[in-house]
Amino acid sequence: MKVLKFGGTSVANAKNISLVKNIIANLESDKTVVVVSALGGITDLLLKTAALASSQDQTYKTILKEIEDRHLLTIKELIPIHSQSKVLSKVKSELNTLETLLEGAYLIGEITPKLSDKIVSYGELLSSYIISEYFIVEGIDVVHADSRQLIKTNSNFGKAAVNFELTNRNITSFIEDSKNSVIIMGGFISSAVNGDSTTLGRGGSDYTAAIVANAINAEVLEIWTDVSGMYTANPKIVKQAMAIPHISYEEAMELSHFGAKVLYPPTIQPVLTKGISIVIKNTFDPEAPGTLITKNKNGQGKTVRGISHVENIALVSLEGPGMVGITGISKRFFEVISTAGISVVMITQASSEHSICIGIDNQDADHAVQVINDAFDIEISLGKIKPVVAEKDLAIIALVGDNMKSHQGLSGKMFSTLGKNNVNIRAIAQGASERNISAVILKEDVKKALNTLHEEFFEENVKQLNLFVMGVGNVGAKFLNQIQSQKKYLKEKLKLNIRVIGMSNSRKMIFDEDGIPLKNWQELLNNGEEANRELFFDKVKKLNYRNSIFVDNTASQEVSETYNSYLRNSISVVTCNKIACSSAYDNYQELKDLARQYNAPFLFETNVGAGLPIIDTLKHLVASGDKILKIQAVLSGSLNFVFNNFNDTTTFHDIVKEAQVEGYTEPDPKIDLSGVDVMRKILILARESGNVLNIEDIQNNPFLPKESLETTNNEDFFKTLTKHEASFQEMYKKALDEDSKLKYVAQFEDGKASVGLQRIPKGHDFYNLEGSDNIVLFYTERYPNQPMIIKGAGAGADVTASGIFADIIRIGNF
């Protein structure tokens, strides 16, 4: 004999119920008990209408109507018209009784636990009846059993305790007497010995099925639900979670105790005692193997079997100097809690005995505080114990696995993983069985914590990087292309999974938690919502993903002013925008400090020499103890392009224009030509070498006429270039006459930096610099005479994008 239980979603509507019928019709077992939940969502609606009625809110009628409609519609869709009338009239009559009960609650303005159970039992009562009638129509040999006649309990309404002796007797004799091959009964509902309706606790249909399986010594208990088994973590929150093929009773119990709702925790006990296996299956994918729960766990393999979590937890701690050495405090504390009927989800006690801390349901927190403070009022008034307070809105997250006890370092790994992602841990507990390690964290960190831990323990080291990209112009667009084409390689070879979750330009922004499809991002972005920097930040913060990276591909001052907020929320920042690093020294230093403090890298390799590894090399030199003596560099790809192409057959204006169109200049080319851009770069290199320097400290010898420098827009700027063509030609001629070339050189030595146009003679390292190439010479204590040289393309959207990409990968390997 088998017992099959179908949950709320599996019987939510006519379509789903027909899938259930297919599963039953294909069974080969001689006799089967089918336990069903209420139609999905109905229990919640019943509780809601009862609460409204008892607070004398007329809208309870709207909810009642919804309940009626759902049932009547299901009957009409399932059962052919000629067989409908009997079923409709029975259901309508039950609904009338329900209405009378609700009216009673409305009139009195009160609801007792007893009445609440009576009302809520209609969910399973109706669903099991309707499904059995449908099965009859479909030719299945079925009989409907009223669970209230079979499952007997005490009168602890809402979560009654089963009287197994009576219950087992009732079930076995019912089964023996029934000739039908299928017996259908409602889960969750039961009755006290005096006949009052009772219920077994929310989610209790699983338990009903286990009780029946125990009574009839079933060969297997199948729990049919809306997911393909018990997963490594809640699949609604962790996208990469996978069904666990085989798990032990104890592991399943632990996971469900800590919130894996797919199985109601008390379900395990009745089947465990008889060694009956449980299989969790998916009604919507019956072929999927699901999860097998047995005594004989397959001990090998994973140490951590699953991660689960419970939300809405409050921490209550009893502490005070007077606690040390006084015996019996814990005993009194737990007695008070238990007498108040409050169940404790987790206990921790510091070894100093200075405090006892418990995790309980948020709902019980105020009550707990009151009873504890009452019980210890003498000690509190004497100052031996502090009045307790509850810290609400927390969550418990637990790693579970039978084999965890034989492995060291798991808790270290768990806590360091959470710490790295800035998940604040409020309390820690490890069960004596060492089958779970649990931590109390803030509720808003749950998603991040679950995903991070899942990645660490289950995903073969594939690390998820979540990008939020601002600026999708020249560089940004190239960057997105590169991600798109490298995605597969990175995942396979570097075990990095890069997703762009958010994207914005100055007009629009979009978010997609599954990752924005990069094939047609332009179109998606155009249809996005209106761009707003603050809202963008709020969204990134709220999504609270681990390994979040804000990528700034703009040249905007305002955007650079937001880095601070990102870093403070442990969101890394990668930027090609030079403004932040060349702003006031204190600001630069603060960003670097924040990055360290919040464990969020702040990387800006592309601020100097686009994709060339200049800053990274410099950092390594300094970190390995070398000292920078002098830096000499041609750092402006744009100015190089301009002076390498400018001669007496061209005009200065046209060459600058070309550089702008090719993306070799900043959007405002004056920033390059005035030397400001190079000043920023040498400033950043000086700072990264360990010097405190500001932009005002850099000497700039401009080559542009004053009039060009004073323009305020691109159009005027270009006009002045044409006007002063003669002076540019003169500069060119002078260099030509000396057999040298014009190069814009930056230098740093002895704490002083300068930038300016120089005539470089033949034979100099800089003389043969081509196109938009950059070159940097590092003279250091280890490279005093022959400098370390880094040379290559130092401008252009493609190389800049690849430099940003390299920073992202650095974070991935962090």
Distance CA 425, CA 174 (A): 52
Contact 493, 515 (CB under 8 A): no
Distance CA 386, CA 290 (A): 50
Contact 581, 687 (CB under 8 A): yes
Contact 630, 647 (CB under 8 A): no
Q: Which of residues 39-98 bind ligand ASP (CB under 6 A)?
A: 43
Q: Does 187 bind ligand ASP (CB under 6 A)?
A: yes
The smaller minimum CB distance to Mg ion, of residues 252 and 315, is found at: 252
The smaller minimum CB distance to ligand ADP, of residues 291 and 548, is found at: 291
Burial class of residue 587, CB neighbours in 10 A (0-12, 13-18, 19+): middle
The binding track of 195-234 with respect to Mg ion, each residue x by CB under 5 A or -, is --------x-------------------------------
Q: Which range binds ligand ADP by CB under 6 A, 7-15, 47-55, 311-319, 338-346?
A: 7-15
| Half-sphere exposure in the Cβ direction for 403 (13 Å, CA) | 11
The smaller minimum CB distance to ligand ADP, of residues 230 and 278, is found at: 230
User: What separation in angstroms does the CA of 1 have from each of 100, 135, 225, 496?
Assistant: 40, 19, 20, 48
Q: Identify what 188 binds: ligand ADP, Mg ion, ligand ASP, none; CB under 5 to 8 Å per kind.
A: ligand ASP
Query: Minimum distance between the CB of residue 574 and Mg ion, rounded to whole angstroms?
Result: 44
| Residue 505 structure tokens | 């330009």
**Torsion sign (Cα): 255, 261, 262, 268:** positive
The binding track of 93-132 with respect to ligand ASP, each residue x by CB under 6 A or -, is ------------------------------x---------
The binding track of 222-241 with respect to ligand ADP, each residue x by CB under 6 A or -, is ---xxx--xx-xxxx-----
Contact 204, 123 (CB under 8 A): no
Catalytic residue (choose from 2, 152, 297, 681): 681
Q: Does 186 bind Mg ion (CB under 5 A)?
A: no
Counting residues that bind ligand ADP (by CB under 6 A) gives 21
Where does 459-554 have alpha helices with state H?
474-489, 521-526, 533-543
The smaller minimum CB distance to ligand ADP, of residues 71 and 741, is found at: 71
Q: Identify what 123 binds: Mg ion, ligand ASP, ligand ADP, none; CB under 5 to 8 Å per kind.
A: ligand ASP
* Amino acid letter, residue 593: D
The smaller minimum CB distance to ligand ADP, of residues 303 and 587, is found at: 303
Cα angle 613-617-618, degrees, rounded to a multiple of 5? 120
Distance CA 177, CA 304 (A): 46
Query: Minimum distance between the CB of residue 451 and ligand ASP, rounded to whole angstroms?
Result: 27
**H or E, element range at 337:** helix 329-339
Distance CA 814, CA 796 (A): 27
| Residue 411 structure tokens | 């808790």
Residue with tokens 């994918």: 285
The smaller minimum CB distance to Mg ion, of residues 45 and 480, is found at: 45
Q: Does 204 bind ligand ASP (CB under 6 A)?
A: yes
The smaller minimum CB distance to ligand ADP, of residues 9 and 772, is found at: 9
Q: Identify what 308 binds: ligand ASP, Mg ion, ligand ADP, none; CB under 5 to 8 Å per kind.
A: ligand ADP
Q: Does 436 bind ligand ADP (CB under 6 A)?
A: no
Instruction: List the end-to-end C-alpha distance of the chain, in Å, as a whole number.
Output: 55
Counting residues that bind ligand ASP (by CB under 6 A) gives 13
Q: Which of residues 271-310 bind ligand ADP (CB under 6 A)?
A: 306, 308
The binding track of 3-22 with respect to Mg ion, each residue x by CB under 5 A or -, is ----x---------------
Distance CA 262, CA 308 (A): 11
Q: Does 610 bind ligand ADP (CB under 6 A)?
A: no
The smaller minimum CB distance to Mg ion, of residues 138 and 311, is found at: 311
The smaller minimum CB distance to ligand ASP, of residues 7 and 609, is found at: 7
Q: Which residues of 79-93 are buried (b: 16+ CB within 10 A; e: fewer)?
A: beeeebeebbeebee
Q: Does 259 bind ligand ASP (CB under 6 A)?
A: no
**H or E, element range at 436:** strand 436-442
Q: Does 401 bind ligand ADP (CB under 6 A)?
A: no
31 is catalytic: no
Rg (CA), the chain: 36
Q: Identify what 227 binds: ligand ASP, ligand ADP, Mg ion, none; CB under 5 to 8 Å per kind.
A: ligand ADP
Distance CA 88, CA 76 (A): 9
Q: Which of residues 23-42 bind ligand ASP (CB under 6 A)?
A: 37-38
Q: What is the dihedral of CA 44, 48, 51, 53, to 10 degrees?
A: -130
Which residues are at the interface with ligand ASP (CB under 6 A)?
Answer: 7-8, 37-38, 43, 123, 187-188, 202-206
Active site residues: 681
Q: Which residues bind Mg ion (CB under 5 A)?
A: 7, 203
Rule CB under 6 A: which residues touch ligand ADP? 7-10, 37, 203, 225-227, 230-231, 233-236, 255, 260-262, 306, 308
